[in-house]
Amino acid sequence: MAWYKVLKDGVMKDGDLFKSRIGDKEILIVKDGSNYFATSLYCTHEEYDLSEGFMDEHNLICPNHFATFNPRDGSVISPPESAGDISPLNSYRTKIENGEVLVEV
Ligand code: FES
pLDDT per residue rounded down to tens, the chain (105 residues): 999 999 999 999 999 999 999 999 999 999 999 999 999 999 999 999 999 999 999 999 999 999 999 999 999 999 999 889 999 999 999 999 999 999 999
Report how far Cα 61 is from the mean position of its chain's Cα atoms.
10
What residues does each domain of the chain span?
3-104
For ligand 1, atom 3, the nearest C-alpha belongs to 65
Of ligand 1's listed atoms, the one at least distance from the Cα of 65 is 3
Q: Which CATH number, 3.40.710.10, 3.30.390.10, 3.40.50.800, 2.102.10.10, labels domain 3-104?
A: 2.102.10.10
Tally of helices (H runs) and strands (E runs) in the chain: 0, 11
Instruction: Please give the span between the terminal C-alpha atoms of the chain, in angstroms, as a whole number.
Output: 5
Number of neighbouring beta carbons within 10 Å of residue 14: 10
Identify the burial level of 10 via C-beta atoms within 10 angstroms of its C-beta, where 0-12 means exposed, 13-18 middle and 19 or more buried: exposed
Rounded to the nearest angstrom, the distance between the alpha carbon of 86 and the centre of ligand 1 is 10
Backbone angles phi, psi at 14, to 5 degrees: -55, 125
pTM of this structure: 0.95
